[in-house]
Copies of this chain bind each other. A is one copy, B any other.
Amino acid sequence: MYCVLVPGVESARVEGPAEQVAPEAARAHDRPSRCLVGGAHAFILRVSSYFGLAPLKFESRSNGLSVSISSAMCIYSYILVTILVVCTILGLVAEVSAGVEVSVRMPSRMAQVVSACDVLVVVLTAGAGVCGAPRRMRTMLAFMGSVAMVDTSIGGKYSKSTERKLCALLLCILIFFSVLLADDFCFYAMQAKRTDRQWNVVMNYAGFYLLWYVVMILELQFAFTALSVRARFLAVNDALALTARHLYIPLEKAKSPSPLNVYAIRVSPPGPGGGVDPRANVSLLVDSLAAREQPVVLTKSVHGTAALGVSPSEAVRRLASLHGTLCEVVRCVDSSYGLPLIVVLISTLLHLIVTPYFLIMEIIVSTNRVHFLVLQFLWCLTHMLRMLVVVEPCHYTIAEGRRTQSLVCRLMTSVSERPALGSLPSRVELFSRQLLLQSVCYSPLGMCTLDRPLVASVIGAVTTYLVILIQFQRYDT
Contacts and interface: CB of A to CB of B under 8 A. Distances in A.
Interface of A: 1-2, 4, 6, 8-9, 12, 14-15, 18, 21-22, 25, 28-29, 108-110, 113, 247-254, 317, 320-321, 324, 327-328, 331, 346, 349-350, 353-354, 357, 360, 363-366, 395, 398-399, 403, 405-406, 408-410, 412-414, 416-418, 420, 423, 426-427, 429-430, 432-438, 445-448, 451-453, 455-456, 459-461, 463-465, 467-477
A217 B435 CA distance: 40
13 contacts: A4-B253, A9-B410, A29-B254, A108-B474, A113-B470, A321-B413, A331-B406, A350-B467, A408-B437, A409-B438, A412-B433, A417-B423, A435-B437
Given A109-B366, A416-B430, 9 more contacts: A6-B252, A113-B470, A349-B463, A399-B446, A412-B433, A432-B433, A435-B437, A447-B453, A469-B471
Contacts of A29: 250, 253-254
B409 A324 contact: yes
A252 B142 CA distance: 13
A249 B9 contact: yes
Contact of A250 (B28, B366, B430): B28
Contact of A437 (B405, B464, B475): B405
Nearest to A109: B364
A445 B392 CA distance: 11
Contacts of A25: 248, 250
A66 to B, nearest CB: 24
Contacts of A472: 472
A405 to B, nearest CB: 5
Contacts of A435: 437
A8 B403 contact: no
B453 A446 contact: yes
Contacts of A456: 447-448
Contacts of A317: 417
A361 to B, nearest CB: 10
Given A251-B6, A417-B423, A467-B353, A446 B452 contact: yes
A363 B113 contact: yes
A468 B465 contact: yes
B446 A395 contact: yes
B12 A248 contact: yes
A452 B461 contact: no
Contacts of A409: 324, 434, 437-438
A423 B249 CA distance: 21
A447 B455 contact: yes
A313 to B, nearest CB: 10
A239 to B, nearest CB: 15
A437 B253 CA distance: 21
Contacts of A461: 460, 464
B250 A12 contact: yes
A103 to B, nearest CB: 15
Nearest to A342: B456
Most chain B CB within 10 A, of A250, A395, A429, is at: A250
Nearest to A244: B12
B408 A430 contact: no
A410 B2 CA distance: 14
Contacts of A436: 436-437
B414 A9 contact: yes
Nearest to A1: B399
Contacts of A469: 468, 471
A66 B28 CA distance: 48
